[in-house]
């Protein structure tokens, strides 16, 4: 059974940092793209960052470039999202996702999803 379990969300002041983790289990993800998406109240789920598990190629939404960094630890089966210089507009539920045969990383057409973790940025 595939499981993606996010952790690390919380309340942080604007300008602060948080690191989200996504522990993946249940299958071999070496051919998968791992993505982070977020969804704010009343808004659609949007792509934040992605990484190809094998090779480590990354991609970012323009809104987070230079502030967020996605990485993975193969030994731990975990993907991370390091978030810095957080802004009020980064407040959302953040989801981890895994996709195998994606035509694009940017749409939420991934195969597996975690339950989400809340990130709240306060002024």
DSSP notation for 24-58: EESS--TT-EEEEEEE-TTS--EEEEEEETTT--E
- Mind listing the pLDDT tens digit for each residue in 64-95? 999 999 999 988 999 999 999 999 999 999 99
Judge whether residue 44 has pLDDT over 90. yes
d(CA 79, CA 17): 17
> Beta partners for 119?
10, 92
Q: Which of 5-9, 22-26, 34-38, 51-55 has the lowest average pLDDT?
A: 51-55
């Amino acid at each position: 059974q595939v499981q993606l379990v996010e952790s690390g969300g919380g309340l942080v002041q604007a300008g602060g940092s948080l690191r989200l983790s996504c522990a993946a289990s249940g299958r071999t993800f070496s051919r998968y793209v791992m993505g982070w998406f977020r969804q704010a109240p009343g808004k659609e789920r949007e792509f934040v960052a992605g990484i190809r598990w094998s090779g480590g190629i990354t991609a970012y939404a323009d809104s987070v470039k230079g502030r967020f960094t996605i990485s993975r630890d193969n030994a731990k089966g975990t993907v991370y999202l390091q978030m810095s210089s957080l802004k009020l507009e980064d407040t959302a539920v953040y989801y981890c996702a895994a996709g195998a045969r994606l035509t694009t990383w940017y749409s939420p057409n991934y195969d597996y999803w975690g339950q989400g973790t809340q990130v709240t940025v306060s002024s």
